Amino acid sequence: MTSQSTTRQSTSRVDIYQAITDQIITAIEAGAGPVQMPWHRSGAGITRPMNVDSGKAYRGINTVALWAAAINGGFCHGLWGTYRQWQDRGAQVRKGETSSPIIFFKAFEAEDQTSEDGKGRRFEGRRCMAQASRVFNVGQVDGYTAPTIDQATDAIDPIARVDRFIRGTGARIREGGDQAYYSPLTDTITMPDRFRFVGTKTSTATESWYSTLLHELVHQSGHESRLKRRFGARFGDDAYAIEEMVADLGSCFLCADLGIASDPRPDHAAYIAQWFRIMKGDRKAIFAAASAASTACQYLAGLQDKEQAAI
């Protein structure tokens, strides 16, 4: 093979890495709407913080700010209101409670003005001004009963073939609480209570339950006693983010293999937006993650063969 053909082939490989990465980045940039958690982070049963007066969900930075405030304050409900709004509902903010700041934009009609540069430019029409406000969580007030979710409700419809696959992995799984995670220290998977799964615009409660559990199973496959998956040498501080990408892609692959969802979910591209920077900085990052995800899926599928052979 000539030097010229080698260079051409090498360039072709680089181009395809970049082309595929760019395709994924384009999907992320196009967006698929806000990504919803498949379970309730709290007992509220809502995906966004909500205002007690309007009944509407907060938007933009206020959503993130109040999520953070709820985590920091240990609040188990996403209902918020100003001091006056709680008073209007016969409730009282408890003495000593600390408010959480939010921002809103107030529209007003701007008067005609002459610009400071003296060139006679005029400012007119409708304008907006940012204003700060402070709100309190329902957990900080007395005299108001927040709605609760029915803990007896289970919207998950068991899928026998998927349950067999999960049992075949031999994973130790416990249910309870409001978080999903895999603990390498105890080699166990923890899943939220089933009643917390309500589905999203793109997934039923059943699909959300299984995709979340499969995500954690992929994490489990990387344990020292199994695939010994490590990314530190190549990705350094981004190793954790790459592992999360592996788990999410692996969950997508397994969902497709097991027939949990008939069509690809459009919010998968939006979900991996948090690894946007990594993919832009390393055109091969998504390939490394996809390869590791495929290996994890093959490993988990291979455990099924062992179970059948033992019967």
pLDDT digits (tens, 9 = 90+) for 171-186: 999 998 888 899 999 9
Give per-residue pLDDT as tens, 123-165. Answer: 455 666 667 889 999 999 999 987 665 655 667 889 999 999 9
Domain end call among 95, 112, 142 = 142
pLDDT at 104 over 80: no
User: pLDDT at position 5, please?
Assistant: 44
119, 193: one domain? no
180, 301: one domain? yes
| Angle (deg, nearest 10), helices 285-310 and 3-30 | 80
Average pLDDT over residues 54-64: 76
Beta-bridged to residue 182, according to DSSP, are 189
Domain end call among 142, 172, 206 = 142
235, 168: one domain? yes
Q: How many helices (H) and strands (E) does the chain have?
A: 10, 9
Residue 118 within a domain: yes
CB 281 within 8 A of CB 238: no
175, 305: one domain? yes
Q: Mean pLDDT over all residues of the chain?
A: 77
- Spatial neighbors of 214 by CB under 8 A, at least 6 apart, are 166, 250, 251, 254, 255
The band of 233, judged by pLDDT with boundaries at 50, 70 and 90, is: confident
Residue reference for tokens 């060139």: 119
User: pLDDT at position 148, please?
Assistant: 63
pLDDT at 31 over 60: no
Instruction: Print the domain residue range for 298.
Output: 160-310
Residue 294 within a domain: yes
Give the other-Cβ count within 10 Å of 87's Cβ: 14
Statement: the pTM of the whole predicted model exceeds 0.75: no
The band of 43, judged by pLDDT with boundaries at 50, 70 and 90, is: very low
Residue 29 within a domain: no
269, 231: one domain? yes
Nearest-10 Cα torsion for 301, 306, 308, 311 = -160
Query: Into how many domains does the chain fold?
Result: 2
57, 182: one domain? no
Residue 243 within a domain: yes
- Spatial neighbors of 133 by CB under 8 A, at least 6 apart, are 82, 101, 102, 103, 104
pLDDT at 206 over 60: yes
pLDDT at 288 over 50: yes
199, 103: one domain? no
CB 234 within 8 A of CB 228: no
The band of 274, judged by pLDDT with boundaries at 50, 70 and 90, is: low
225, 259: one domain? yes
167, 285: one domain? yes
Q: b or e along 209-241 (b: 16 or more beta carbons within 10 Å of the residue's beta carbon)?
A: bbbbbbbbbbbbbbeeeebebebeeebeebeeb
Residue 5 within a domain: no
Give the other-Cβ count within 10 Å of 303's Cβ: 17
The band of 40, judged by pLDDT with boundaries at 50, 70 and 90, is: very low
pLDDT at 8 over 50: no
Q: Write the DSSP symbol of residue 138.
A: G
Distance CA 281, CA 165 (A): 37
91, 185: one domain? no
